[in-house]
Structure 1
Amino acid sequence: MPGFLNALIDFGSSANWLIAAWLVLSVLVTLAALRYRRLYRAARAGRARLADLIDNLSEGIYTSSLDGRQLSANKALVQLNGYSGEREMLARVKDIGTEWYVDPSRRAAFRDALERDGRVEDFVSEIYRHKTRERIWISESARLVLDPTTGKPLHYEGSVRDITVLVRRLSLEERFQKLTRELPGALFQLVTRASGVAEVLYVSAAFTRITGIPLEEFVERPRSLFGRVHGADISGLRRSLRRATEKRQSWDHEFRLRLRDGTEKWARVAATPEFREAGIIWHGYLTDISTRKSNEMEIERLAYFDPLTELPNRRMFLNRMAQAIAGSERRGDHGVLLFIDLDNFKTLNDTQGHDVGDAFLIQVAARLERCLAPRDLVARIGGDEFVVILEAAGVDEANATRHAIVVANRLLVTLREPFELAAVRHLASASVGVVVFDGAEARPDEILKRADIAMYQAKAAGRNGMALFDPASLERERERFRLVGDLRAALGGRELELHFQPQVDDRGVIIGAEGLLRWNHPRLGMIFPDRFIPLAEQFGLIEELSRAVFDLGLAALASWQRDPATAHLRLALNVSVQSFNCDSFGAMLGQMVRSHAVDATRLTLELTEHVMARDHERVARLMAEIKDLGVRLSLDDFGTGYSSLAYLKTLPFDELKIDGRFVADIETGESDRALVKTILAMARNLGLTSVAEHVENIRQQAFLRAFGCDCFQGYLYGKAVPAADFLDRLREGGTPQPATLRSGHPSRPDWIAS
């Protein structure tokens, strides 16, 4: 024994011990390195899996065209890109794919997924903060918006959330734990076996927040989820899972949940299958989509229902009308369409205010619904226009007509009953057009047109009644088409002419005129624009007509400028909505100004705010183009709309023209006097020229002059007359004598222009 100890001591003190210790230490270090590498690879795989599961981290909201051009962005998305306003951002962003994504191929992958699936959710990319070029990480979700009629894609809309802080701050394991807690949805891994047994491998805490089911309960009994699914949605959920299993494809389904407290919410499950011998592992995500569903239902309500009365709107009516026609053809019976127009609604709206008018329309809708059977439909298709569809009204036309008359009379009676509108007690009436239809006419719009014609027959007969459609009334429609043909011919001839109404300064001296279009028809005589301008707009002649007006007007202006006695005169021309919205308007105006060689500073274009209501940015660009020519811009009918102040602030107007209805009532209406004074003061403060139209007597002129009105126009100074008569009046001294207005016979202002 002592010998063994001595030998051991000798060994320990030798170099062999050090070598053995070094070998053991090397093995331990190698094992530790291998273990660390396995942990690292596992963490890296977890990060990749996590990137695929991130869903609905969205704050920025946007709408984009199908080619990727952004159409709108909310404040969060604008700020995310480093801009201070939406307009600046939309003007700067040209190509999302090359300017936004660090890896441009991500844009192509995003679009491919969107076109294939109709939606993309939780698409993670590294992008540039567009203005500052700072690199950030985002999670993006989007869906295609389809035309409800054709099913064709219109654009897409989506959301973006900045996840840079999460990506950069957390370590691999911390990131997994943190994201699973903060994701709005729940991550899960679930195994389904051929025996029907399901096993939960993993589920994040958000599952309880969405479903109300404790995690322990779900892990122990995975099918407890079906106990919370809305009864009407259980079979659909099961079918979707079975179909995904059979077709070996992703599982994606939306359904309703009912929590224990009675709360109902919408949820979406999306999972990818991994097929193994032991069963299918579903890697998925469960999210609460209640807000999106609510928004979609609201969008559908706005698309198919009138927001004021909550009745079906025109789109819904046309769909139902097509169904009614098909039903009549299938059954071999007849249906009825009633077109209801409320008599004198505009007077109520104008005199009592829009709030009273709205309350009236709501009560009308309720009364109409009460008069109809559940299968009938009442819809609001215009301001004061309602339609009623009576399906299966009779086996033949006679029976259907009798039924239509009974229902129409019932509606008229209920609408004659007084309406209590706050402090106003309103007695109303309506005009009703009646059309009986069968399946022979397959176009809802044609039947609607016939009902509209019948309604106007009822109005022509004295209102407060009904009229059956008379095929002979189609002749009047044919006359309209003949007039369109005559107008096309007139555009190439000499039948169109401008009449000129003087505009005077505060001394009463003529300083210019407004050119008003007239059509000297060879068969019908003088026709005013209110009869043929709508036809030109409806049948695509407005651009050609506008060119004719400017040709006449600029020719007159050029003639005036060649004569020293009239070279100072200004000319104002009205521009219609459709004319201004023509893409070629600016180029056409510039070409005509140059061809007539006129001083464009003497030309004023009068625009109503309706011209500017569509595309504000396009309007601003076009107005700047017009201003570059030297042409002056006037905001016409000022005070009648809701946006006029905004237009004055943001658009380059030179003058505003006070609507003649305010001028007409300044003698008797205190509110009109106050409004006119305010408009005149505002014009002075903004450096704008003020023009008052429809001035018909000296008292109105005195009031306007006292409060600083710059220019005047109306019957007090003369009617619109042909060019020769206007120049004769000017040569008489340039100061028109006030027209005499006969007591008890107010004249109608000649204000309608091209």
Structure 2
Amino acid sequence: MQSFFATLADAGTSSEWLAIANIILSALLVQWMLRNRRLYRNSREEQAHQRDLIENLSEGIYRSSLDGHQLSANKALVRLNGYDSEQQMLGCVSDIGKEWYVEPGRRDEFRAILRRDGFVENFVSEIYRHKTRERIWITESARLVYDKKTGNPVYYEGSVREITEMMDRLKAEELLSKLSSQVPGGLFQFVRSSAGSYSIPYASRGFRTIFGLLDDEELGRPRRFLDMIEEIDRPTFASVLRTSHETMEPLDIEFRAVDSLGKAKWLRLSAKPEAIDGAVMWHGYVNDISVRKKNEMEIEKLAFFDPLTGLPNRRMFMDRMGKAVQRCRERTGCGTLIFIDLDNFKTLNDTHGHDVGDDYLVQVAKRLKNCVRAEDTVARIGGDEFVIILEGVSEDAAHASRVAIMTANKVLSAMRDDFEVGSFSHRSSASLGVVVFDGKDGRPEEILKQADIAMYQAKAAGRNGMALYDHLSMSTESERYRLLNDFKAALSNDTLELYFQPQMDDNGRIVGAEALCRWHHPEHGTLLPERFVPLTEQFGLIREFGNVVLAKGVAELARWQNLNATSRLRLALNINVQSFSCEDFVPNLTALISHHGIDARLLTLELTESVMAKDRKLIARRMNELKQLGVRLSLDDFGSGYSSLAHLKRLPFDELKIDGSFIADIETGESDRALVKSILGTARTLNLTAVAEHVENVRQEAFLRAFGCDFFQGYLYSPALTGDCFVEFVERRQMGDLLGDLPQIRQSA
């Protein structure tokens, strides 16, 4: 090649060389032109082939401008819309969204997805065949086409396929809705032949996923799926299926199953039978409802079962008691209620802590269940109060009484055996009240009251025994009414006393205290509010009782303000909603504040969530009147009721007080931990102070601190103290602060 160019160079610019070069260049140019012509012709042919392919596809192909005007359509799309030519169709279609789609706004949904993702796949819609207005179903896919230089979308193109026949086969509108919205689940067809054999001709991918099968795995015999159903639910499933076959009614059932991968789940199966040539085919849908079932069971557990012992709680007990009374009424039989109160439980709690007390209660629950039949009910309705319902024991009251006494003796014997709690043995006993009912002599609440009265008769007789309620003698001599008369006297003879449980901040400093009422009964000793407050509510003494507590509390706060150690401490008083609703409540409190000259900002009134169930306008007005006085307002036992956050936000509360039952279980109960965190988050959101009560150990305290609790009270710091002891406690605490020995002051739980 170098010699060739050297020769050319030697030739210089002679005429011969120019002629030769011209001939060569001409030949090369002709060759290049022929090659490009061939490529162009091939390209044109390829484009023609593509146009022919598109024109002859069975699927409609189109191109549209960005504003939705159709620019082109192939023959299939023209035919789908009932026209003879592309020109005719494009001339008749002016507004695709309004003229084509049956469902208003469906076109907007399509374009919204296209703008968001740049493409749409399998968009199912019901449309009109444009020319004839016949309603048909189509599936549509499309993509945006972008300018290669600017990157901006210039138009979009897509495909349309008619699926009317398939949609007609589906029939059921509900199944179609679920399929279109891609709700998780599986479709299936299940056949029972005239000979009694079963087969599964169709199962969707969702069906396979639910039962843990691969997409290409053989379904096998239907017996395989029946074996996946939990044994306890198989008889019910078989019965429902048999009934559907006999009546040709749809079946709908929820059951437990374990799929082929060993995963347990709850399933719901719905199917409609169809008679086909002597056989029956069910067209059905199965869905995994494990999450819903788990939530339902958690809600039911929280609402109807005691979180500590797992026994039915008071609400569940009252429901079962009502049903037991109704069955006795219908069958003219007798049932028995046994009320069990553990003797000296408070002493165990106070001396060894609530952890030990809780362990003891769990063991008590197990022993009680072992004393009765499987069909009987054992429930925990209070701190140390249990009940047993014995149903259908006899048609004769005398025989029912004998059975009840035998069962009660078994319970007493079980309670007398030592309990191994913590590192020591606890010798226990219980007091039992027994009532025989026949469904004619009272409501469940009345029967429970009678059992309670009988139980107190057993306590009065020396405890560790039982008493059978006698409708003739015990109704007039009951402990409850004697206690009521004693309490009326206590309101006037000053035997009610306020105790004070310290409230601490997150630095361990005392910020105030909650006042807790104690009744020093001459016969029964010191009684807690749980024993006598229900009397005030039941017999209309709540107003007088509330006035006594309010007067004592304000007087004590005035005493604190005159002492250096307690002058800036807050005092919280529990106010019953009935007392709070009285017209003279605010005037009375105003007079007390003025008389004692206290700083009202140091007074906190604790109201329970039931306050929001009252006349909200009245309550809000009263609360605002108190806020004008400077009084702080606290929502007590938050989480135990049904507060509406919307109502809470409108009321002028300063703090939320977390119900102590949730604090007790935050170490072991996931639901309680989640609930406490939620309450603390609510307090922060609403800019409210959060107070936790019944804090009994440092683990609970650490959890509450971690999630933003402001103040704490409970046995970890101190039990409720008399007024003088509380002042001494504060002084010792402050001295400990000065000496740098603050952590040593906590009490044992």
Q: TM-score range by the shorter chain?
A: 0.5 to 0.7
CA contact (8 A) 1:183 1:206 kept: no
Q: 1:500 aligns with which of 555, 563, 581?
A: 555
CA contact (8 A) 2:190 2:199 kept: yes
| Match status 1:471 vs 2:508 | no
Aligned partner of residue 581 in structure 2, secondary structure: helix
- For residue 335 of structure 1, report the CA deviation from its aligned partner: 2.7
Letter of the 2:357 partner, please give it: G
Residue of structure 2 equivalent to 1:542: 579
The alpha-carbon distance between structure 1 residues 172 and 390, as it changes in their structure 2 partners (threshold 3 A), is farther
Aligned partner of residue 308 in structure 2, secondary structure: coil
The alpha-carbon distance between structure 1 residues 440 and 509, as it changes in their structure 2 partners (threshold 3 A), is closer
Residue of structure 2 equivalent to 1:526: none
CA contact (8 A) 1:511 1:569 kept: no
CA contact (8 A) 1:381 1:387 kept: yes
Letter of the 2:364 partner, please give it: V
Aligned partner of residue 369 in structure 2, secondary structure: helix
CA contact (8 A) 2:245 2:280 kept: no
Letter of the 2:580 partner, please give it: E
CA contact (8 A) 1:543 1:579 kept: no
CA contact (8 A) 2:336 2:437 kept: yes
Residue of structure 2 equivalent to 1:703: 732
| Match status 1:32 vs 2:69 | no
Rounded to whole Å, the distance in 2 between the matches of 1:303 and 1:184 is 29
Aligned partner of residue 500 in structure 1, secondary structure: helix
Rounded to whole Å, the distance in 2 between the matches of 1:167 and 1:31 is 17
Residue of structure 2 equivalent to 1:575: 606
CA contact (8 A) 2:683 2:690 kept: no
The alpha-carbon distance between structure 1 residues 466 and 424, as it changes in their structure 2 partners (threshold 3 A), is same
| Match status 1:604 vs 2:600 | no
CA contact (8 A) 1:500 1:514 kept: no
Residue of structure 2 equivalent to 1:438: 438
Aligned partner of residue 464 in structure 1, secondary structure: coil
Letter of the 1:500 partner, please give it: A
Map residues 60-99 of structure 1 onto 2, 5 A cutoff: none
Aligned partner of residue 575 in structure 1, secondary structure: strand
CA-to-aligned-CA distance 1:357-390 (integer Å, 9 cap, x gap): 2221121112122222444332222222111123
- For residue 345 of structure 1, report the CA deviation from its aligned partner: 1.9
CA contact (8 A) 2:340 2:385 kept: yes
Aligned partner of residue 410 in structure 1, secondary structure: helix
CA contact (8 A) 2:550 2:589 kept: no
| Match status 1:349 vs 2:349 | yes
CA contact (8 A) 2:565 2:734 kept: no
Residue of structure 1 equivalent to 2:245: 242
Normalising by structure 1, we get a TM-score of 0.52
Letter of the 2:586 partner, please give it: F
Letter of the 2:324 partner, please give it: A
RMSD: 6.3
Letter of the 2:631 partner, please give it: T
| Match status 1:454 vs 2:454 | yes
- For residue 700 of structure 1, report the CA deviation from its aligned partner: 3.8
Map residues 24-423 of structure 1 onto 2, 5 A cutoff: 32-33=56-57, 36=60, 185-188=185-188, 202-211=202-211, 231-239=234-242, 241-242=244-245, 246=248, 252-255=252-255, 266-271=266-271, 284-330=284-330, 332-394=332-394, 396-423=396-423
| Structure 1 unaligned residues grouped into runs of 5+ | 1-20, 45-102, 107-124, 138-165, 518-528, 561-565, 595-599, 628-632, 663-668, 675-681, 685-690, 710-754
- For residue 324 of structure 1, report the CA deviation from its aligned partner: 3.4
CA contact (8 A) 1:557 1:571 kept: no
| Match status 1:554 vs 2:601 | no
Residue of structure 2 equivalent to 1:150: none
Rounded to whole Å, the distance in 1 between the matches of 2:475 and 2:119 is 68
- For residue 337 of structure 1, report the CA deviation from its aligned partner: 1.2
CA contact (8 A) 1:271 1:282 kept: yes
Aligned partner of residue 453 in structure 2, secondary structure: helix
| Structure 2 unaligned residues grouped into runs of 5+ | 1-44, 62-74, 82-102, 121-140, 145-157, 167-178, 486-534, 665-675, 703-709, 713-719, 739-749
Rounded to whole Å, the distance in 2 between the matches of 1:592 and 1:320 is 43
Letter of the 1:242 partner, please give it: H
Map residues 565-644 of structure 1 onto 2, 5 A cutoff: 572=603, 574-577=605-608, 581=612, 582=614, 583=616, 584-591=618-625, 600=629, 603-605=630-632, 607=634, 609-610=636-637, 614=641, 615=643, 617=645, 621=649, 625=652
Rounded to whole Å, the distance in 2 between the matches of 1:328 and 1:656 is 47
Greater Rg, structure 1 or structure 2?
Answer: 2
Rounded to whole Å, the distance in 1 between the matches of 2:734 and 2:587 is 34
CA-to-aligned-CA distance 1:118-172 (integer Å, 9 cap, x gap): xxxxxxx99999xxx99999xxxxxxxxxxxxxxxxxxxxxxxxxxxx9999999
- For residue 487 of structure 1, report the CA deviation from its aligned partner: 4.6
Letter of the 1:577 partner, please give it: T
Rounded to whole Å, the distance in 2 between the matches of 1:258 and 1:657 is 42
- For residue 276 of structure 1, report the CA deviation from its aligned partner: 9.1
Rounded to whole Å, the distance in 2 between the matches of 1:196 and 1:40 is 48
Rounded to whole Å, the distance in 1 between the matches of 2:206 and 2:731 is 74
Aligned partner of residue 336 in structure 1, secondary structure: strand
- For residue 575 of structure 1, report the CA deviation from its aligned partner: 3.4
Rounded to whole Å, the distance in 2 between the matches of 1:224 and 1:579 is 54
Map residues 514-529 of structure 1 onto 2, 5 A cutoff: none
CA contact (8 A) 1:185 1:286 kept: yes
Normalising by structure 2, we get a TM-score of 0.52
Rounded to whole Å, the distance in 2 between the matches of 1:201 and 1:634 is 60
Rounded to whole Å, the distance in 2 between the matches of 1:573 and 1:242 is 67
CA-to-aligned-CA distance 1:197-238 (integer Å, 9 cap, x gap): 988665334444444678788678678756766641453353
CA contact (8 A) 2:255 2:268 kept: yes
Letter of the 2:322 partner, please give it: A
CA contact (8 A) 2:119 2:142 kept: no
The alpha-carbon distance between structure 1 residues 293 and 39, as it changes in their structure 2 partners (threshold 3 A), is farther
The alpha-carbon distance between structure 1 residues 487 and 370, as it changes in their structure 2 partners (threshold 3 A), is closer
Aligned partner of residue 472 in structure 1, secondary structure: coil
